[in-house]
């Protein structure tokens, strides 16, 4: 065995191999040397259990693979042809051009993030953004944090730590990715008091659960599941009235941050932050990167006293929003103020695209792809924990052939591999492509990937 190990080239020999020299030029000598050592150790191990001695070219190729795998730009872009507009696995909402530009300018240089330019003294990173949030939601006060989960965590900690929070049994749920309302409540230092039943909870159930230890009533929007049939949950206004009578703040986890009425787009009505404020909710929470269409963020709106309590809680510092997020969020909110959300914010542009417009894109793709594909009626979905079960009519390209090798799954896999991955969806043993979620400018790349996948 030791004689076979001696047939392996030395680390120095590998480092002087032409392809490895190119890798060193691209990355650094030290980083590549570490990869070479790791690969040589793997070779020795493989030889130790009886494997063949690899040639220098094979070793170099393996090192190139290690480098491109470990040091690739990540996350890598994908073309979303699934028709799911908000997909947590795909990074949720794509940003508008203005939001991207704002984030780039803020990140590239210095800025007055926490400097009051008039006095030259320390300023607030929240003040400007907070005014914009109030303007679009009608809230008296607002602040933004890292994401909605942390908004709830710091909100509950500031208002209800050491106290009881009353939640309907049907709303003490898991939102996704292991995020469970009871767990967040526990982490905030509050105690969960569940009332009602999974399908039916009445205002009187909350009223009966109020004690001198009650810190808040929490209403959670069921954004990722449907309770249908024999159900009842109290109207937000009823809860607010109860809260006012008993002097208990009512909190509302909205989930999505939907600032436009989805009913205007032929969808079920998604609760809106404006409605929550109009109903008199004390504190509401929502995400920046769901239907709001902005960057990852958690937004807290409500009455001045409570928002002030939240902003001065020590956890607020731990979950604060970064400068790129603040600028992208502010730019996104400006689209609502300028009433241009449906033309500028990608998720709203997708939602408002007509079926006939999508149909003509689908027809163009089908003609270009050929190979027996056709255009069929289908459905796009909102996804991302918004409007469960709600769909929008669309026109989809159904790939007729599955290519030279393998079936539907193999074709979907080939579409995902390569430099410009395309994600379709599989239904009835066909791969379907929905133009609704494909961004302007991605069409040519998508068609190239599809043609390559069908012909290999």
Which position's Cβ is nearest ligand PLP? 255
Residue 300 beta carbon to ligand PLP: minimum distance, rounded to whole angstroms: 12
Q: Rg (Cα) of the chain, in Å, rounded?
A: 27
Residue 254 beta carbon to ligand PLP: minimum distance, rounded to whole angstroms: 7
178 to 197: interface string for ligand PLP, x by CB under 6 A: -x------------------
Member of 149, 239, 350, 387 binding ligand PLP (CB under 6 A): 149
Closest CA relative to residue 157, chosen from 189, 127, 118? 189
What DSSP state is assigned to residue 260? S
Q: According to the binding rule CB under 6 A, does residue 298 interact with ligand PLP?
A: yes
- Comparing CB distances to ligand PLP, the nearer of 9 and 170 is 170
What whole-number distance in Å separates Cα of residue 32 and Cα of residue 158? 49
Q: How many CB atoms lie within 10 A of CB 77?
A: 14
Q: Among the candidate windows 75-83, 130-138, 144-152, 431-439, which touches ligand PLP by CB under 6 A?
A: 144-152
Reading the block at residue 394, the tokens are 């669309």
Residues 6+ apart with CB under 8 A from 100: 328
Member of 94, 196, 255, 424 binding ligand PLP (CB under 6 A): 255
In 171-227, the DSSP E strands lie at 174-176, 179-180, 191-195, 214-220
Near ligand PLP in 200-229, by CB under 6 A: 220-221, 223
Residue 51 beta carbon to ligand PLP: minimum distance, rounded to whole angstroms: 46
Q: 75: cis peptide before it, omega within 30°?
A: yes
Near ligand PLP in 379-408, by CB under 6 A: 385
In 247-373, the DSSP E strands lie at 250-255, 283-287, 298-302
33 to 62: interface string for ligand PLP, x by CB under 6 A: ------------------------------
What DSSP state is assigned to residue 395? E
- Comparing CB distances to ligand PLP, the nearer of 32 and 220 is 220
**By the 8 A CB rule, do 240 and 246 touch?**
no
Residue 10 beta carbon to ligand PLP: minimum distance, rounded to whole angstroms: 51
Q: According to the binding rule CB under 6 A, does residue 442 interact with ligand PLP?
A: no
Where residue 388 falls (left for φ over 0; alpha for ψ -120 to 50; beta otherwise) is beta
100 to 139: interface string for ligand PLP, x by CB under 6 A: ----------------------------------------
Query: What three-state secondary structure class fits 443?
Result: helix
What DSSP state is assigned to residue 122? B
Member of 287, 332, 380, 430 binding ligand PLP (CB under 6 A): 287
By CB under 6 A, the count of residues binding ligand PLP is 13
Strand pairing partners for 122? 115
What whole-number distance in Å separates Cα of residue 41 and Cα of residue 47? 10
99 φ, ψ (degrees, to nearest 5): -65, -40
Member of 106, 126, 130, 147 binding ligand PLP (CB under 6 A): 147
Residue 286 beta carbon to ligand PLP: minimum distance, rounded to whole angstroms: 8
What whole-number distance in Å separates Cα of residue 212 and Cα of residue 247? 11
- The residue whose two tokens read 């302007």 is 440
Residue 221 beta carbon to ligand PLP: minimum distance, rounded to whole angstroms: 5
224 to 253: interface string for ligand PLP, x by CB under 6 A: -----------------------------x
Member of 96, 148, 361, 402 binding ligand PLP (CB under 6 A): 148
Opening angle at CA 54, ends 53 and 60, nearest 5: 150
Q: According to the binding rule CB under 6 A, does residue 93 interact with ligand PLP?
A: no
Member of 103, 175, 239, 341 binding ligand PLP (CB under 6 A): 175
- Comparing CB distances to ligand PLP, the nearer of 252 and 353 is 252
What DSSP state is assigned to residue 319? T
Contacts to ligand PLP by CB under 6 A? 147-149, 175, 179, 220-221, 223, 253, 255, 287, 298, 385
């Amino acid at each position: 065995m030791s004689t076979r190990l001696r047939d392996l080239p030395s680390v120095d020999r590998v480092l002087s191999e032409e392809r490895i020299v190119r890798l060193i030029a691209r990355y650094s000598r030290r980083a590549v040397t570490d990869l070479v050592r790791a690969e040589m150790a793997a070779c020795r191990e493989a030889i130790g259990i009886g494997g063949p001695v690899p040639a220098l070219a094979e070793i170099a190729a393996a090192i190139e693979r290690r480098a491109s795998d470990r040091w690739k730009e990540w996350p890598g872009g994908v073309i979303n042809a699934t028709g799911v507009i908000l997909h947590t696995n795909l990074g949720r909402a794509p940003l508008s051009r203005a939001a991207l530009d704002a984030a780039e300018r803020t990140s590239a240089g210095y800025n007055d993030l926490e400097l009051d330019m008039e006095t030259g003294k320390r300023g607030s990173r929240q003040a400007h953004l907070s005014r914009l949030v109030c303007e679009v939601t009608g809230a008296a006060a607002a602040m933004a944090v890292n994401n909605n989960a942390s908004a709830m965590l710091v909100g509950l900690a500031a208002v209800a730590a050491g106290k009881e929070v009353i939640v309907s049994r049907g709303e003490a749920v898991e939102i996704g990715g292991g995020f469970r309302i009871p767990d967040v409540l526990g982490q905030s230092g509050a105690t969960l008091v569940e009332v009602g039943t999974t399908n039916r909870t009445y205002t009187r159930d909350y009223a009966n659960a109020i004690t001198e230890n009650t810190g808040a009533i929490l209403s959670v929007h069921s954004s990722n599941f449907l309770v249908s049939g024999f159900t009842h949950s109290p109207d937000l206004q009823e809860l607010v009235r109860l809260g006012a009578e008993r002097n208990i703040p009512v909190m509302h986890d909205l989930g999505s941050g939907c600032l436009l009425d989805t009913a205007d787009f032929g969808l079920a009505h998604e609760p809106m932050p404006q409605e929550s404020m109009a109903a008199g909710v004390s504190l509401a929470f929502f995400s920046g990167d769901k239907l709001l269409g902005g960057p990852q963020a958690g937004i807290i709106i409500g009455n001045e006293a409570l928002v002030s309590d939240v902003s001065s809680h020590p956890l607020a510092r731990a979950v604060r929003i970064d400068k790129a997020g603040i600028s992208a969020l502010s730019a996104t909110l400006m689209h609502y103020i300028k009433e241009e959300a449906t033309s500028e914010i990608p998720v709203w542009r997708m939602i408002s695209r007509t079926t006939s417009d999508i149909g003509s894109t689908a027809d163009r793709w089908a003609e270009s792809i050929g190979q027996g594909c056709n255009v069929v009626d289908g459905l796009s979905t909102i996804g991302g924990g918004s409007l469960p079960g709600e769909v929008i009519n669309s026109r989809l390209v159904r790939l007729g052939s599955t290519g030279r090798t393998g079936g539907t799954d193999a074709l979907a896999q080939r579409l995902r591999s390569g430099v410009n991955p395309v994600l379709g969806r599989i239904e009835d043993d066909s791969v379907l492509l929905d133009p609704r979620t494909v961004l302007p400018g991605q069409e040519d790349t998508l068609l190239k990937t599809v043609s390559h996948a069908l012909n290999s």
